[in-house]
Structure 1
Amino acid sequence: MTPVQDAVLSLLPELAYPHDPSAKQTRDLLVKAKTGTGKTVAFLVPAIEARLNAIEAAGKKALADAGVTSDKDIETRARRVFAKNQVGTLIISPTRELATQIANEAIKLTHWHKDFEVRLFFGGASKREQMRDWQRGRRDIVVATPGRLRDVLENEGIREAFKNTQLFVLDEADTLLAMGFRDEIDAIKEYLPEVPERQTFMFSATLSKPIQQVARSVLARDHHYIDVVPKDDSPVHAHIPQYHTVLPSAEDQVPHILRLVAHDQLINAGRSKVIIFLNTTKQTQLFATLFRELAKVTLPAARNTQIYEIHSKRPQEGRTNTSNMFRKDEGGASILVTSDVSARGVDYPGVTRVIQVGMPGGTEQYIHRVGRTGRAGTTTGRGDLVLLPWEIGFVSWQLTDVPLKPLPTNELTSQVSELAAKYDANPEEFFKGIKLNDKPHHDPRRRFNTGPRLYPNTQAKTHEELPSKLAALLENVDEDAIKETLGSLLGYYLAKAPELRVQKEVIVQGLKDWTTGAMGLPTPPYISAALLERLGYKDGRTRNFGGERKRSFPSRNESHWMGRGSTKGREGGGFQGEREGGFRADREGGFRAGREGGFRGDREGGGFRAPREGGFRAPREGGFRAPREGGDREGGFHGQPRLRTAAIRTSTSTVASRISTAEAHAASDARSRPIAPMRGGR
Structure 2
Amino acid sequence: MNFTDFNFKKEINQTLESINFQKPTEVQEKLIPIVLSGRDLVGESKTGSGKTHTFLLPIFQNLDVTLNEVQAVITAPSRELATQIYKAAQEFVKINPSIRVSNFVGGTDKARQIKKLENGQPHIVIGTPGRIHDLIKSGALIVYTANTFVVDEADMTLDMGFLSDVDNIASAFGKKVQMLVFSATIPQKLQPFLKKYLHNPVMQTIANKTVISDTIENWLISTKGASHNQLLLQISQAINPYMAMIFANTKGRVDDIHHFLVSNGLKVAKIHGDIPPRERKRIMNSIKNLDYQYVVATDIAARGIDIEGVSHIINDEIPKDLTFFVHRVGRSGRNGLTGTAITLYSPSDDSAIREIEKMGVTFQPKAVKNGEIVDSYDRDRREKREKKRDEISLATRGALAKGKKKVKPGYKRAIKWQIEEENKKKRRAERNKNARKQREGRKQSF
TM-score, with normalisation over the residues of structure 1?
0.48
- For residue 18 of structure 2, what is the aligned residue in structure 1? none
Matched residue type, 1:247: T
The structure 2 residue matched to 1:39, chosen from 43, 48, 51, is 51
The structure 1 residue matched to 2:101, chosen from 108, 118, 134, is 118
Aligned mates of 1:281, 1:355 — CA distance in 2: 16
- For residue 511 of structure 1, what is the aligned residue in structure 2? none
Distance 1:262 1:109, change over 3 A: farther
Q: Is the 8 A contact 2:41 2:180 kept in 1?
A: yes
Aligned mates of 1:45, 1:254 — CA distance in 2: 45
The structure 1 residue matched to 2:72, chosen from 73, 78, 89, is 89
CA-to-partner distance for each residue in 1:344-377, whole Å, 9 max, x for gaps?
Answer: 14211111111111231311122211121122x4
Distance 1:247 1:404, change over 3 A: farther
Question: In the alignment, is residue 357 of structure 1 matched against residue 357 of structure 2?
Answer: no
The CA deviation at 1:392 is 4.2
Matched residue type, 1:351: V
Aligned mates of 1:403, 1:153 — CA distance in 2: 44
The structure 2 residue matched to 1:171, chosen from 152, 158, 171, is 152
Question: In the alignment, is residue 237 of structure 1 matched against residue 195 of structure 2?
Answer: no
CA-to-partner distance for each residue in 1:463-483, whole Å, 9 max, x for gaps?
Answer: xxxxxxxxxxxxxxxxxxxxx
- Greater Cα offset, 360-369 or 165-174: 360-369
Distance 1:308 1:202, change over 3 A: same
The CA deviation at 1:134 is 3.3
Q: Is the 8 A contact 2:118 2:140 kept in 1?
A: no
Question: In the alignment, is residue 254 of structure 1 matched against residue 229 of structure 2?
Answer: yes
Aligned mates of 1:287, 1:133 — CA distance in 2: 42
- For residue 374 of structure 1, what is the aligned residue in structure 2? 333
- For residue 444 of structure 1, what is the aligned residue in structure 2? none
CA-to-partner distance for each residue in 1:491-535, whole Å, 9 max, x for gaps?
Answer: xxxxxxxxxxxxxxxxxxxxxxxxxxxxxxxxxxxxxxxxxxxxx
Larger strand fraction of residues: 2
- For residue 133 of structure 2, what is the aligned residue in structure 1? 150
Paired residues for 1:47-62 under 5 Å: 47-52=59-64, 55=65
CA-to-partner distance for each residue in 1:71-119, whole Å, 9 max, x for gaps?
Answer: xxxxxxxx3xx32xx2111001011110111111111122111321221
- For residue 281 of structure 1, what is the aligned residue in structure 2? 251
- For residue 186 of structure 1, what is the aligned residue in structure 2? 167
- For residue 60 of structure 1, what is the aligned residue in structure 2? none
CA-to-partner distance for each residue in 1:531-557, whole Å, 9 max, x for gaps?
Answer: xxxxxxxxxxxxxxxxxxxxxxxxxxx
SS at match of 1:336: strand
- For residue 215 of structure 1, what is the aligned residue in structure 2? 194
Q: Is the 8 A contact 2:104 2:131 kept in 1?
A: yes
CA-to-partner distance for each residue in 1:15-40, whole Å, 9 max, x for gaps?
Answer: 1xxxxxxxxx5432221221112211
Q: Is the 8 A contact 1:363 1:399 kept in 2?
A: no
The CA deviation at 1:247 is 0.9
Larger Rg: 2
The CA deviation at 1:42 is 1.5
CA-to-partner distance for each residue in 1:130-180, whole Å, 9 max, x for gaps?
Answer: 3234344441111121222223322x1235x11111110011111112222
- For residue 368 of structure 2, what is the aligned residue in structure 1? 412
Q: Is the 8 A contact 1:36 1:345 kept in 2?
A: no
- For residue 294 of structure 1, what is the aligned residue in structure 2? 264
SS at match of 1:318: helix
Count of aligned residue pairs for this structure pair: 352
Aligned mates of 1:109, 1:226 — CA distance in 2: 27
Aligned mates of 1:379, 1:398 — CA distance in 2: 23
Q: Is the 8 A contact 1:358 1:388 kept in 2?
A: no
Aligned mates of 2:265, 2:362 — CA distance in 1: 28
| Percent identity over paired residues | 26
Matched residue type, 2:140: I
- For residue 404 of structure 2, what is the aligned residue in structure 1? none
The CA deviation at 1:47 is 0.9
Q: Is the 8 A contact 1:236 1:367 kept in 2?
A: yes
Aligned mates of 1:417, 1:105 — CA distance in 2: 39
Aligned mates of 2:323, 2:263 — CA distance in 1: 33
The CA deviation at 1:400 is 4.0
Matched residue type, 2:28: Q
Runs (4 or more) in structure 1 with deviation over 6 Å come to none
Q: Which consecutive residues of structure 1, in runs of 5 or more, have no partner in the other structure?
A: 16-24, 56-78, 297-305, 420-682
- For residue 310 of structure 1, what is the aligned residue in structure 2? 271
Q: Is the 8 A contact 1:103 1:120 kept in 2?
A: yes
Matched residue type, 1:163: Y
Question: In the alignment, is residue 203 of structure 1 matched against residue 182 of structure 2?
Answer: yes
Aligned mates of 1:260, 1:47 — CA distance in 2: 45
Aligned mates of 1:136, 1:381 — CA distance in 2: 48
The structure 1 residue matched to 2:342, chosen from 362, 376, 384, is 384
Matched residue type, 1:237: S
Question: In the alignment, is residue 226 of structure 1 matched against residue 204 of structure 2?
Answer: yes
Q: Note the aligned Cα RMSD (angstroms).
A: 2.6
Matched residue type, 1:360: P
The CA deviation at 1:384 is 1.6
- For residue 326 of structure 1, what is the aligned residue in structure 2? 287
Distance 1:293 1:402, change over 3 A: farther
- For residue 395 of structure 1, what is the aligned residue in structure 2? 353
Distance 1:234 1:211, change over 3 A: farther
The CA deviation at 1:402 is 4.5
Paired residues for 1:57-76 under 5 Å: none
